[in-house]
Amino acid sequence: MDTGFAINIIRVGVLQVLVLSAPLLIIGMVVGLIVSIFQATTSIQDQTLSFIPKIAAILGALIFFAPWMIQTVVQFTMNLFTQIPQMVR
């Protein structure tokens, strides 16, 4: 296995991690922004008010996106397994 091949595998793996985590992170950020705006307008500064909605939104997004995430990880793993003969050369 040459260096370029290994770097390509690492690059694709890092890209997969970014693509898989992006929906959950974006939803958490949007919900956090909405809660922060609500807290600023009502002058409520309770920490649990910002924490609980983000957890609920991310859990809901995880349930919604789980089939796609699992399919993507399985496809990536199958691609890695098919590349094993090329690694041995």
Instruction: For residue 76, count CB atoms less than 10 angstroms from its CB and return exposed for 0-12, middle for 13-18, buried for 19 or more.
Output: middle
**Reported confidence tier of residue 87, pLDDT bands at 50, 70, 90:** confident
pLDDT higher than threshold 90 for residue 1: no
Q: Give alpha helix (H) positions in the chain.
A: 3-42, 47-82, 84-88
Which region holds residue 43: left if phi is over 0, alpha if psi is between -120 and 50, else beta? Answer: left
pLDDT digits (tens, 9 = 90+) for 7-40: 999 999 999 999 999 999 999 999 999 999 998 8
Residue 24's identity, in one-letter code, is: L
Query: What percent of the chain shows pLDDT beyond 70?
Result: 99
